[in-house]
Amino acid sequence: MTAATHSTLFPQVPDSADAVLEGLDPEQREVATALHGPVCVLAGAGTGKTRAITHRIAYGVRAGILQPSSVLAVTFTNRAAGEMRGRLRQLGAHGVQARTFHSAALRQLQYFWPKAIGGAMPRLVDRKIQLVADAAAACRIRLDRGELRDVTAEIEWAKVTQTVPADYALAAAKAGREAPRDPAEVAQVYSLYEDLKRERAVIDFEDVLLLTVGILQDRRDIAEQVRAQYQHFVVDEYQDVSPLQQRLLELWLGERDNLCVVGDASQTIYSFTGATPDHLLDFRVRHPGATVVKLVRDYRSTPQVVHLANALLAQARGRAADHRLELVSQRPAGPEPVFTEHTDEVAEAEDAARRIHDLIASGVPASEIAVLFRTNSQSETYEQALADAGVPYQLRGAERFFDRPEVREAGIALRGAARFGGNDSLLDDAPDLPSQVRAVLSGKGWTPQPPAGSGAVRERWESLAALVNLAQDFAAAHPGATLGDLVAELDERAGAQHAPTVQGVTLASLHSAKGLEWDVVFLVGVAEGMIPISYARTDEQIEEERRLLYVGVTRARERLYVSWSLCRSPGGRPNRRPSRFLDGLRPGSPAVAARGTAGASGGVERGHGSVAGTGGAATGPHAVPRRTRRVPARCRVCGRTLTDAGEMKLMRCDDCPSDMDEGLYERLRAWRQEQARRSGQPAFCVFTDRTLMAIAEAVPDDERELARIPGVTMRKLRRHGADVLAICAGREPGGDGAAD
């Protein structure tokens, strides 16, 4: 789920510009107050980039520095644009345009077409695959279903990289692309596809950008009119910009430099569509005076999840890896990631379904759990396993919430009740807004208890239940609100595509999970041939697969389960092995030395002509000191380099012999349980099992020896050091420190 829908509560609009800045960390505040000139925000996963840029826009608007109608914020998906509009609305920044590149360009193209071209604008086709099929047939080239999809993707890539059909073969070879058919055949289909569009008077989504670029290049008067309208630009997910989108952005800007870009090269996972992180990494080359702000404080994930994510990127190579950000978790400790091997995919799915069933039974909402896989074809096995376990689920990438038939029907019913509710007997015994919504939706299939099983009936109920929950939160935030007020809220949310939470475990591909987060994530099928995918052969393709796994890891807030299977079907030949990306990270795997440079720390770099991310200590009053590079940890028994978080705490491999004092370990566990009971926090917030094991193996004599044990922070040393040392010395603990 998105951060915007993590809670359906309705926050109060800040009462002043300064109030907009409250709650931001020093680096986020730097972003929010840097309102002039070029600004580049390098934002790691979970560091609050959307929060920073929406507060930047809202602060500028509320302070009177930015005119709302002069700001254009662009991103890459309707969902992300809707989330941005929703947040800006909550911050009191009305009138700001937040759109995708395509929707912003389409509005301009529709407006200027009569003036620039004349006549009616061609019809926009939603899906180009049928046109591609017709073009292939006209060329007498037979394409199966998979080839048709892949040739369509090649045409899209060619257009966003501004490659004409005659140049396709050479451009594809230069880019290292493996064409689904002979490049000459792809070029032939591409050429005839363009001819068919002209004959049928239609355009595709890529044409929207190409035509807008063409008009702005050729018609200076129109370009100046657009530039007079928009004077401040914000671009989210800048690492995903294609050459065509970058050209459009340059034409929007003209000679000005009021541009703020936000991105993370380590989350570049769409290069197959023409996206490239070069525009992000070269920002200071194009704008030497730019301010660069690095966000590395991770508010999403526990230290255990963050450690795994950092370790995964530490093995990466290439230009994006040279600019990686080392995240620093701001959350309390959580459980270690769980790595599991299975005999086959069915067993892997059944184990995940059992664990999910138990998590839901323990109180974890189904909507806070996700199963992420590399390809959509893996979904069916997990759908069946979850259905067999009686666990509700939803497929990511399916129909948008406000487009669902039951949601549209519910909206009509609520609007009718708001208008004529005084004559509706259903509402006679409904004294408040939530009970009125429940009464209206009961006629559409909502019941207090969910229906048994899964499928269409359950999905319909989940949609209606989401509206009921939204009504409860809305009423709590707005006492005295009426059905009419709720209907107006739903209309605004529909326009922003700001959907309420739907209960159900999310099934999604790693690509479609980008930008989302859950309390619990199951990363499944993490085996060679699946991730990295079998057709990833070049170094660049392999590194993109690593970044894709990194995106998956960083979706988890608290619990992370990583699994793989040795074969596809029960009884099959066990010829698979875990993904190479897990080497050195999962228990028992061979160590892999970290490559490249240490990750960049957070802070602010003022414009002075250096290349972004390549040097320069953090400066300014809010700078975060650069972290020193750590010396590799080695097993004290066999000397092997340790990368697993649990092994690093023990300072030995899991399978090396332990010299732990079992009696001491049990006394420490009993003491920890009492500390947790007093503080009302989970036991691992005092010390994790691994840290207690490390203490029981080391048996420290003084604070200096205790402080050397990973997991014993200075804060915990001050709070619990005396007790732990007393227990190690065989004495009764005397303090009563509280848990972190």
Q: Which residues pair with 559 in a beta bridge?
A: 520
Q: What is the pLDDT of residue 596?
A: 53
Q: Is the pTM of this model over 0.85?
A: no
Instruction: Assign domain 17-108+219-295 to its CATH architecture.
Output: 3-Layer(aba) Sandwich (3.40)
**Which residue ranges make up the annotated binding site?**
43-50
Instruction: Characterize 113-137 residue by residue with b for buried, 16 or more Cβ atoms within 10 angstroms of its Cβ, and e for exposed.
Output: beebeeeebbeebeebeebbbebbe
Cβ–Cβ < 8 Å for 504, 392: yes
Q: Which CATH code fits 634-739? A: 1.10.150.80
Cβ–Cβ < 8 Å for 507, 371: yes
Quick one: pLDDT band at residue 610, thresholds 50, 70, 90?
A: very low
Each residue of 505-558: pLDDT tens digit? 999 999 989 889 999 999 999 999 899 988 787 888 899 999 999 999 999 999
Predicted confidence (pLDDT) at residue 357 exceeds the cutoff of 90:
yes
Full DSSP string of 455-511: SHHHHHHHHHHHHHHHHHHHHHHSTT--HHHHHHHHHHHHHHT-PPP--SEEEEETT
Mean model confidence pLDDT for the chain: 83
Predicted confidence (pLDDT) at residue 738 exceeds the cutoff of 60:
no
Quick one: pLDDT band at residue 133, thresholds 50, 70, 90?
A: very high
Q: What is the pLDDT of residue 384?
A: 84
Domain ranges within the chain, ordered by starting residue: 17-108+219-295, 123-200, 306-399+503-582, 401-496, 634-739
- Identify which has the larger pLDDT, 452 or 137: 137
Q: What helix, strand, coil percent values describe the chain, rounded to 5?
A: 50, 10, 40
Phi-psi region of 273 (alpha: psi -120 to 50; beta: other; left: phi over 0): alpha
| Apex 38 CA angle, 33 and 39, nearest 5 | 50
In the chain, the percentage of residues whose pLDDT exceeds 90 is 40
Candidates 3.40.50.300, 3.40.50.1000, 3.40.50.720, 3.40.710.10; correct CATH number of 306-399+503-582?
3.40.50.300
Strand-pair category, 603-605 with 291-295: antiparallel
Predicted confidence (pLDDT) at residue 679 exceeds the cutoff of 80:
no
The region of weakest confidence among 3-17, 214-228, 412-426 is 3-17
Query: Which of 380, 395, 394, 381 is CA-nearest to residue 351?
Result: 381
Phi first, then psi: give them for residue 268, nearest 5 degrees.
-80, 105
CATH topology agreement for domains 17-108+219-295 and 306-399+503-582? yes
Predicted confidence (pLDDT) at residue 634 exceeds the cutoff of 80:
no
- Three-state DSSP state, 565: strand
Cβ–Cβ < 8 Å for 516, 1: yes
What would you report as the CA-atom Rg of the chain, rounded to the nearest whole angstrom? 28
Question: Measured between alpha carbons, how far is residue 652 from residues 629, 638, 640, 684 in Å?
Answer: 21, 8, 8, 21
* Tokens read off for 497: 């595509």
Q: What is the pLDDT of residue 253?
A: 92
Phi first, then psi: give them for residue 339, nearest 5 degrees.
-110, 130
* Alpha-carbon span 558 to 518, nearest angstrom: 8
* Tokens read off for 387: 């259905």
In which element (H, E) is residue 330 found? Answer: none
Query: Which of 495, 494, 496, 499 is CA-nearest to residue 470?
Result: 499
Each residue of 17-42: pLDDT tens digit? 888 888 899 999 999 999 888 999 99
Predicted confidence (pLDDT) at residue 94 exceeds the cutoff of 50:
yes
Q: What is the pLDDT of residue 597?
A: 54
Each residue of 682-731: pLDDT tens digit? 777 788 888 888 898 889 988 888 888 877 877 788 889 999 999 999 99
Instruction: Characterize 496-512 residue by residue with b for buried, 16 or more Cβ atoms within 10 angstroms of its Cβ, and e for exposed.
Output: bbbbbbbbbbbbbbbbb
Full DSSP string of 438-460: HHHHHTTT--SSPPSS-SHHHHH
**Which residue ranges make up the annotated binding site for ATP?**
43-50
